[in-house]
Amino acid sequence: MLVNIVTFDKKTILFSIFVRFKLVVLIIFYMEITLRDVLSELATDLRARNYDDRISYRYLNSKFKSKLDYFLRLESKSREFLKDYTLWKKIENFELEDYSPSACGLVDECKMLKRSVKELPEILSTSYGKLIKVFSGDDLKDYTFIKSVDYKDYINRPFIVNDRLFWISENRLIIPNINADFVSVYLIPKDDSEIDKLNNKLSPCSSSLDGTLSYPDYIITLAKQETLKEVMGGYVRMIEDEKGDDNSNSKN
């Protein structure tokens, strides 16, 4: 009897894991939506409400990204939100090049300096700072994010927890005293398509509209709803302005 109970428990656990795995796969598959898909849905919704085609994709794109950034900033105040691994995008083998150690300032310990060959994409920034993590190419060693002006003071501390440091200057990654040609970078970007381009999953000439939006579904939905509200409100005001005195009782 005991053997049967143990066997049953193991089957139950395995079945539970299998079901959860299927749900995760379905959720990930469902969330694979591009910016072009979202803008197309917005344009369709506007046409369904009898708005004309003068509202361009460029205008919708600007409004939607603004709303998306707003809701991401709100949610990023939650530590749990930042633990969502689907938000963090990896730049694989982010290439480094030699850079003048003089950029460290007057710091004797700075014997070698490397800078990223390419610029970083625009990173979501919160009250915690820029949402970026840097690791060695094998992902085993992490680097601490500091400001370049704090480098000298940090190095001169009596006790240093981590002497692997980095900072950002002119959208480039700067790493002192590293003897490596590339690192792994994890970040929450404002535009997923820029990550796809850096990882060669999207042609550099491709439109950002073809980039995948991998943000939580509820955030995308909120951003779409608020975009529609603002666009429709602005459109109504534009029509009223075009009519001018037709909307008022002119005594002339």
User: How many alpha carbons lie under 13 Å from residue 222 in its C-beta half-sphere?
Assistant: 14
Name 223's Cβ contacts closer than 8 Å, sequence gap at least 6.
64, 67, 68, 70, 71
Average pLDDT on 80-101 reads 87
pTM, two decimals, is 0.69
Query: Once rounded to an integer, what is the mean pLDDT over residues 14-28?
Result: 43
pLDDT of residue 172: 94
Write the pLDDT tens digit of every residue in 135-151.
999 999 999 998 888 88
Predicted confidence band of residue 105 (pLDDT cuts 50, 70, 90): low
> Position 162: which residue type?
N
Rg of the chain in Å (alpha carbons):
25
247 has a pLDDT exceeding 60: no
The pLDDT of residue 173: 95
171-226 per-position pLDDT tens digit: 999 998 888 999 999 998 888 888 888 888 877 777 778 777 878 889 999 999 99
Residue that wins the pLDDT comparison between 23 and 123: 123
pLDDT at 19: 39
Residue 25 has pLDDT above 50, yes or no: no
The pLDDT mean for the chain works out to 78
pLDDT at 106: 56
All structural domains of the chain with their residue ranges = 1-30, 89-187
The pLDDT assigned to 134 comes to 96
| Least confident range of 36-40, 133-137, 155-159, 165-169 | 155-159
- Asked if residues 102 and 115 have their Cβ atoms less than 8 Å apart, the reply is no
* Confidence check: pLDDT of 242 > 80: no
pLDDT above 70 for 3: no
The pLDDT of residue 74: 86
Residue pLDDT, tens place only, 50-64? 776 678 888 999 999
CA gap 143, 188 in Å, rounded: 17
H/E stretch holding 30 reads: helix 2-30
Whether 115 shows a pLDDT value over 80: the answer reads: yes
